[in-house]
Structure 1
Amino acid sequence: MGFEQKVTSLHLDILKEIGNIGAGHAATALSTLLDKKIDMKVPQVRVVAFDEMMEMAGGPDNVVVSVFLRIEGEAPGSMFFVLPLSQGSRFIQQMTGDMEFSFEQPPYSDIGLSAMQELGNILSGSYLSSLSDFTNLNLYPSVPALSVDMVGAIISFGLLEVSQTSDTAIVIDTALKDDETTESESVKGHFFLLPDPESFNTIFKSLGVES
């Protein structure tokens, strides 16, 4: 039985709460950085099989912008923040004021790339500190790596880094907007958290939920 079939609604409620607290921390940090109010929501958290995760990002051949990092510490794993090109471009435009910036038209400006890296830093750091606070586990991120590539290539590379395959991912949907944009214009992306196989049990056990 795959791990995703063992996950209960209680597991998901806990993960969503962790996601919402992480989103709150990230919104505060981004509001300070951009000097305007940023609102972040986590509409849904799911635990899915690997193939389904790929499909949620548009399929293995879909080109996206991604920030990847390794989680080190007591529950190691991999984390990806994935945005469609149009959503990534919109966020960089909001962040830098450069309305010409587009991930669909390389080469990319250094300021646009560093803004995307900073977004990845803030979001991943916020989610990771929330997970660490909830679980009392010692977790810390590696330096994030930014890439614009096909989903399959990005995730395969991330997993090759640790010479292992994972067949289950925690997916945290993320919606990000400021006061000037409507709900439909909010930037929507996915967080894919791929704990190493033994880390699933470590995380849920530390939450008081046996897997």
Structure 2
Amino acid sequence: MELFNHNPDFKMDVLREVGNIGAGHAATALSRLLDKPVDMSVPTVSFVPFERIADRVGGSEEVVAAIFLRVDGDAPGNMFFLMSRKQAARVLQVLLGIEASEKDSYSELELSALCEIGNILAGSYLSSLADLTGLAMSPSVPSIAVDMAGAVLSYGVLQFGTMGDEALLIDTTFLKGEQEAEGHFFFIPDPQSFERMFVSLGVPLE
């Protein structure tokens, strides 16, 4: 997209701030939910072409736990939070004390816990993005699936319609004591949504 060719450093600085504020919100929300300290590392923010999203989690045939939702409002798009089986098991263990093996299926309790954590993270990043841009952005009720990454993304396309070409990737690491777990947050704006966001953030496009 031509949009990304102008002022790339400035854009990334702005988006890193979105990630930092969102991580702070997420840490606070998770700490309250779990009634124990939870820290978030400084997130890594980058742009990823839609067709390369699966590569970031091990390939299209890699089984992942995926929380996904639709964003409506002034800058609509789709959001995914993807974790490998190893990381999902670690999240359940580190944050909730649930002993979970690396597997393809989960109990209702485990799915509910993973979905709630993904929902908190997605909501925190979306809230920081909406606050900084001043745009109205509201999430749908999240869904969770455990399947191959390619199948999850294909299902998202079928459910939400054509995806945008680029995704905003925020690599997120949770810290509790010396343990950590990580996941990959993707916001895939509809066409024109990135431009609206950057204009609202005061980022020059030319």
TM tier, smaller: over 0.9
Question: CA shift at 1:98, angstroms?
Answer: 2.5
- Secondary structure class of the residue paired with 2:129: helix
Judged with a 3 Å threshold, the aligned counterparts in structure 2 of structure 1 residues 25 and 172 are, in CA distance, closer, same or farther, namely same
| 1:143 alignment counterpart | 141
- Secondary structure class of the residue paired with 1:83: strand
User: What amino acid is aligned across from residue 174 of structure 2 in structure 1?
Assistant: L
Question: CA shift at 1:84, angstroms?
Answer: 1.0
Q: Is the 8 A contact 1:4 1:48 kept in 2?
A: no
| 1:172 alignment counterpart | 170
Question: CA shift at 1:143, angstroms?
Answer: 0.5
Q: Is the 8 A contact 2:40 2:172 kept in 1?
A: yes
- Of 177, 188, 199 in structure 2, the residue corresponding to residue 205 of structure 1 is 199
**1:108-134 Cα deviation digits (max 9, x unpaired):** 222211111110111111111100000
Alpha-carbon distance in structure 2 between the residues aligned to 1:104 and 1:111: 15
User: What amino acid is aligned across from residue 181 of structure 2 in structure 1?
Assistant: V
Judged with a 3 Å threshold, the aligned counterparts in structure 2 of structure 1 residues 27 and 86 are, in CA distance, closer, same or farther, namely same
Question: CA shift at 1:16, angstroms?
Answer: 0.8
User: What amino acid is aligned across from residue 19 of structure 2 in structure 1?
Assistant: G
Judged with a 3 Å threshold, the aligned counterparts in structure 2 of structure 1 residues 7 and 77 are, in CA distance, closer, same or farther, namely farther
- Of 86, 110, 113 in structure 1, the residue corresponding to residue 111 of structure 2 is 113
> TM-score with structure 1 length normalisation?
0.91
Moved over 6 A (4+): none
- Structure 1: give runs of 5+ residues left out of the alignment: none
> TM-score with structure 2 length normalisation?
0.93
Aligned length: 205
Q: Is the 8 A contact 1:78 1:159 kept in 2?
A: no
Question: CA shift at 1:91, angstroms?
Answer: 1.0
Alpha-carbon distance in structure 2 between the residues aligned to 1:11 and 1:167: 17
Alpha-carbon distance in structure 2 between the residues aligned to 1:46 and 1:96: 29
Q: Note the aligned Cα RMSD (angstroms).
A: 1.6
- Secondary structure class of the residue paired with 1:115: helix
- Structure 2: give runs of 5+ residues left out of the alignment: none
Question: CA shift at 1:174, angstroms?
Answer: 0.5
